[in-house]
Amino acid sequence: MSFTVIFNLILTVLTVFTGAVWAVDRFVLSPKRMAAAAAGSMVEAKPGAFVEFFGGLFPVIAAVFVVRSFLYEPFRIPSGSMIPTLHVGDFILVNKYSYGLRCPVGSCKLVEIGAPTRGDVVVFIYPNTDPADSNRGNDFIKRVIGVPGDKIQYSGKTLTVNGIVATQTPATTQDDAGYNDVRVHENFGGVEHDILMKPERRMDPYSCPFVQPDGDNFEYTVPAGHYFMMGDNRDGSNDSRCWGTVPEANLKGRAVLIWMSWDHAKLRPVLSRIGTVIR
């Protein structure tokens, strides 16, 4: 069970518990105290320490619960699979209602609102449920390349979806491009962003064995209710080429904003990235 799941479970339990204490005091105990005080009883009109503490926590915990469960959830970028769009150390906000309101714990959906579109940057629960897989249950972030029914082709480092080629032009900067990397500007069906590629690198069946034995040259039709994900660091991403598509039930929300970025090497915030809208 991942840290996020445990935290959400604890937050849900605390919300229910403090809410119950607040409700009992508000509608049962408080009227009795007021009536006793009005009758001249020596019973103290204020609640006891236990009720005062936990009942007082309820509004704060309830606000955090609503915002985190149904509006926005913070997420930290743990790997370089989305470079150059997202860096290791970026802290982002995830819009939780873009793809429907879901249960705070579990994957049930309460209200249908929308669905991912090609090019969205999405946080989701890693789909492989093999107990031996160390990533099982973790949150991942990738870009949606294919929605249900899309025919995806990937050849020569170029994406084609439903016969439409994602055009590539030289990027205006080579920032974030490491050894043998090339930064390229990609227009993916009107969604424009930069990607990183290693022109000479070829994926091997050991690094990508599950869905696409040849991760550099394949055709794939996305099944109903699933989404095909890839990282913007095209040759440095563990994604749907390796572990398959993501079920709709695993979606958590759309990444919308970098609210903080921390340079772990220099131990300081990266001010230029704070407030960046994710595209």
pLDDT tens, the chain, 279 aa long? 667 778 889 999 999 999 999 999 999 988 888 887 777 665 566 788 899 999 999 999 999 999 999 999 999 999 999 999 999 999 999 999 999 988 888 778 888 899 999 999 999 999 988 888 888 889 999 999 999 999 999 999 999 999 999 999 999 999 998 888 999 999 998 999 999 999 888 877 666 766 767 888 899 999 999 999 999 999 999 999 989 999 999 999 999 999 999 998 889 999 999 999 999
C-alpha to C-alpha distances, 128 to 37, 92, 225, 226, nearest whole angstrom = 61, 24, 16, 13
Whole-structure pTM value: 0.88
My answer on whether 175 and 54 are in the same domain is: no
What integer pLDDT is reported at residue 43 of this predicted model?
57
Counted domains in the chain: 2
Asked if residue 215 belongs to a domain, the reply is yes
CATH assignment at residue 98: 2.10.109.10
Beta-carbon neighbour count of residue 47 at 10 Å? 18
My answer on whether 66 and 122 are in the same domain is: no
Asked if residue 36 belongs to a domain, the reply is yes
My answer on whether 94 and 221 are in the same domain is: yes
User: Do 106 and 264 contact (CB within 8 A), yes or no?
Assistant: no
Task: Supply φ then ψ for residue 194, to 5 degrees.
Answer: -95, 150
User: Do 123 and 82 contact (CB within 8 A), yes or no?
Assistant: no
Residues labelled catalytic: 81, 142
Asked if residue 10 belongs to a domain, the reply is yes
Asked if residue 278 belongs to a domain, the reply is no
My answer on whether 67 and 81 are in the same domain is: no
Tell me the three state secondary structure of residue 256.
strand
My answer on whether 165 and 47 are in the same domain is: no
My answer on whether 36 and 104 are in the same domain is: no
